[in-house]
Amino acid sequence: MPEQKRYPSKPEKVYFFGTCLVDLLYPEAGLAGMQLIRREGIEVVFPQDQTCCGQPAWNSGYRNEALQVAQRQLACFPEDYPIVVPSGSCAGMMRHHYPRMFQESGDRERVIKFSTRVYELTEFLVHILRIDLKDLGPPIKVALHTSCSARREMGVAGEHEALLKQLSNVELLEQARKQECCGFGGTFAVKQPAISAEMVSDKANAITATDADILVSGDCGCLMNIGGHLDYRNESLEYRHIASFIWERTDATER
């Protein structure tokens, strides 16, 4: 796999890839992610023609359909700007799987150049923007769930923690089995509902045992799965995407 492209100084512009779940269920997470970047003096370009990254089709064996979707994204992000993605799952698809999808295509070199520009949001905030956060919120206890894709595929578990630890009034709580999957796994939850239900129940038990005030995650699929289970159990625990959580605590206009 080619090395990820590095930007020695803050780029003037970035692309923002919204993801399906952000678009349909958690738009505030996408807006917060873009606001965090804009606050650093960077122009955010949001191509209106972007769609799904193609992961559901790819994971379900629909290779040709996934390729068509991926080709659409290649056309939407033509300039040499970083592509920031508020999801470890979608970022992993675009960063690691796109080159494999186009293994035998004449577009492979173009795809590789595209994929090296893909950054998961927290990775971009920490390593490229070197963001410095000032916590303006009240004391709060946080349970963090890092998705499997973010932790294992993109390798950004430490970046999630680093950002939260910058917030002086946030107590980041340790939890049992924090490296385990929540049971969502995209189509896995549909194809293996009984197993998925047991996995999310275990994850919810571990999270509620921390006595946290809020659950934070960088992937909306995990939030939807764990949060839905917490709601089903009538738990009072709130849950938020990490971009929304950080923005709410660091934006002076929110006070």
- Give pLDDT tens digits for 186-232: 778 888 889 989 999 999 999 999 999 999 999 999 999 999 999 99
- Given a cut of 70, the residues of the chain with pLDDT beneath it are 1-3, 8, 254-255
Contacts of 228 (CB under 8 A, 6+ apart): none
Total domain count for the chain?
2
User: Buried (b) or exposed (e) across 192-229, using 16+ Cβ within 10 A?
Assistant: eeeebeebbebbbebbbebebbebbbbbbbbbbbbbeb
Burial of 186 (0-12, 13-18, 19+ CB in 10 A): middle
The answer to whether residues 94 and 52 belong to one domain is yes
* End-of-domain residue from the set 74, 94, 128: 128
Nearest in space to 5 (alpha carbons), one of 117, 149, 170, 130? 117
The last residue of one of the domains, among 128, 151, 182, is 128
Considering all CA atoms of the chain, what is the largest pairwise distance in Å, rounded to the nearest integer? 54
Select from 109, 58, 51 the least CA-distant residue to 75. 51
Backbone angles phi, psi at 131, to 5 degrees: -65, 140
pTM, full prediction? 0.94
Domain co-membership, 18 together with 91: yes
pLDDT value at position 1? 56
Last residue of a domain, one of 128, 157, 180: 128
Dihedral class, residue 140 (left if φ above 0, else alpha if ψ from -120 to 50, else beta): beta
**Local structure of 41: helix, strand or coil:** coil
SS3 92: helix
Which tens digit of pLDDT belongs to each residue from 176-195?
Answer: 988 999 988 877 888 888 99
Residue 199 lies in a domain: yes
Could you tell me the two tokens for 137? 């919120």
User: What domain range is 169 assigned to?
Assistant: 140-250
